[in-house]
């Protein structure tokens, strides 16, 4: 069974694979369109911008996320129970003490961010603190600490930024194809079709990769949290309470939704068919499945 540390090397490798794959995709799309428009500079512009986006997102991703969610730093005196829980879990897991933040939002939720354990942040909403008892809060914070220990934040940050950039690039290139000038009448129609197909499919592929990684990491963080606390029922009970809340977060954003322990949009119940379709594109696995697996670990 996976522990808090077994996925670190795997997630680092995934990060490099994602970066390489997306950069190759960007170059391929840029090459097709630049060849069609007879403007080689498009490839170099796209590549340089992609590299700048990667570097910037690696160093400043936590600040961007905190700004988007409206999270505020707290001291031990301001939220002693939350701070003590995080502090105890950090000691137990052998991780550096992360910075602790609070979001003033009645919707129960929490997230972790940061490029590595030395620059990590955990945050909880005021709604979460009001809803859960201490053992349940320990389960949720252990889940977030597991994301830090497993280096999930690194791979997810890169995936999100690259997925977003590919969508931006595809939009830019589609406009270039539509309005671009140059002597394009002699260009190969096959290459044009391939370029258009790449523009359409690239954002979809980027989103699907992001969703797949997000789902897998949630299951792993649940299992790691259960091992860390030695009490799977704490997190299972917390997820049960959180899943009953249908109040979306005020600061909900599709860009950061995957970071939270639960879907921040907290949609009301759908029909069985609608729910199945929705689950295919959800950033989180169904809460019922997560709860069931955790309770099976208690047996």
Answer with the residue of higher pLDDT: 26 or 134: 134
Question: Residue 1 domain-assigned?
Answer: no
Cα distances (Å, whole numbers) of residue 165 to 22, 149, 203, 237? 9, 27, 9, 38
Q: Does 144 qualify as catalytic in the annotation?
A: yes
Query: How crowded is residue 130: how many other Cβ atoms within 10 Å of its Cβ?
Result: 9
Q: What is the phi/psi pair of residue 124, to 5°?
A: -135, 150
d(CA 170, CA 175) in angstroms, rounded, equals: 9
Question: Residue 89 domain-assigned?
Answer: yes
User: Which of 144, 218, 233, 268 is flagged as catalytic?
Assistant: 144
pLDDT in tens, 2-14: 444 445 566 666 6
Question: Residue 126 domain-assigned?
Answer: yes
Residue 135 has pLDDT above 60, yes or no: yes
Question: Residue 3 domain-assigned?
Answer: no
pLDDT at residue number 272: 47
Question: Residue 33 domain-assigned?
Answer: yes
Q: Which domain holds residue 205?
A: 8-297
d(CA 242, CA 261) in angstroms, rounded, equals: 9
By the 8 A CB rule, do 153 and 115 touch? yes
pLDDT in tens, 208-239: 666 656 677 888 899 999 999 999 999 999 99
d(CA 21, CA 202) in angstroms, rounded, equals: 11
Question: Residue 263 domain-assigned?
Answer: yes
Look up the pTM and report it: 0.78
Residue 80 has pLDDT above 90, yes or no: yes
d(CA 171, CA 210) in angstroms, rounded, equals: 19
Cα distances (Å, whole numbers) of residue 254 to 21, 75, 143, 258? 23, 29, 21, 8
> For the chain, how many structural domains are there in total?
1
- What region does 263 belong to: left with phi over 0, alpha with psi -120 to 50, or beta? beta
Q: Are strands 99-103 and 72-73 parallel, antiparallel or unpaired?
A: antiparallel
Closest CA to 55 of 113, 115, 117: 115
């Amino acid at each position: 069974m996976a522990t808090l540390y077994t996925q670190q090397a795997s997630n680092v490798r995934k990060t490099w694979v994602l970066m390489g794959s997306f950069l190759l995709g960007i170059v391929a799309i840029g090459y097709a369109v630049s060849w069609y428009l007879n403007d080689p500079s498009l490839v170099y512009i796209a590549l340089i911008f992609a590299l700048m986006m990667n570097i910037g997102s690696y160093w400043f991703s936590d600040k961007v996320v905190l700004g988007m969610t409206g999270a505020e730093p707290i001291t031990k005196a301001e939220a002693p129970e939350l701070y003590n829980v995080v502090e105890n879990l950090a000691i137990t897991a052998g991780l550096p003490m992360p910075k602790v933040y609070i979001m003033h939002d009645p919707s129960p939720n929490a997230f972790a961010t940061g490029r590595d354990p030395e620059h990590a942040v955990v945050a909880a909403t005021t709604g979460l603190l009001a809803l859960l008892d201490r053992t349940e809060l320990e389960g949720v914070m252990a889940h977030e600490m597991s994301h830090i220990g497993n280096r999930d934040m690194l791979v997810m940050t890169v995936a999100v930024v690259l997925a977003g950039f590919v969508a931006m690039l595809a939009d830019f290139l589609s406009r270039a194809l539509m309005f671009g000038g140059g002597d394009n009448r002699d260009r190969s129609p096959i290459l044009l079709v391939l370029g258009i197909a790449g523009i359409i499919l690239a954002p979809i592929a980027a989103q699907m990769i992001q969703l797949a990684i997000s789902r897998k990491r949630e299951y792993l963080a649940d299992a790691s949290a259960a091992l860390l606390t030695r009490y799977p029922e704490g997190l299972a009970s917390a997820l049960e309470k959180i899943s009953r809340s249908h109040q979306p977060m005020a600061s909900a954003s599709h860009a950061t939704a995957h970071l939270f322990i639960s879907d921040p949009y907290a949609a009301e119940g759908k029909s069985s068919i609608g729910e199945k379709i929705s689950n295919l594109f959800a950033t989180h696995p169904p809460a019922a499945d997560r709860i069931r697996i955790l309770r099976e670990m208690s047996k």
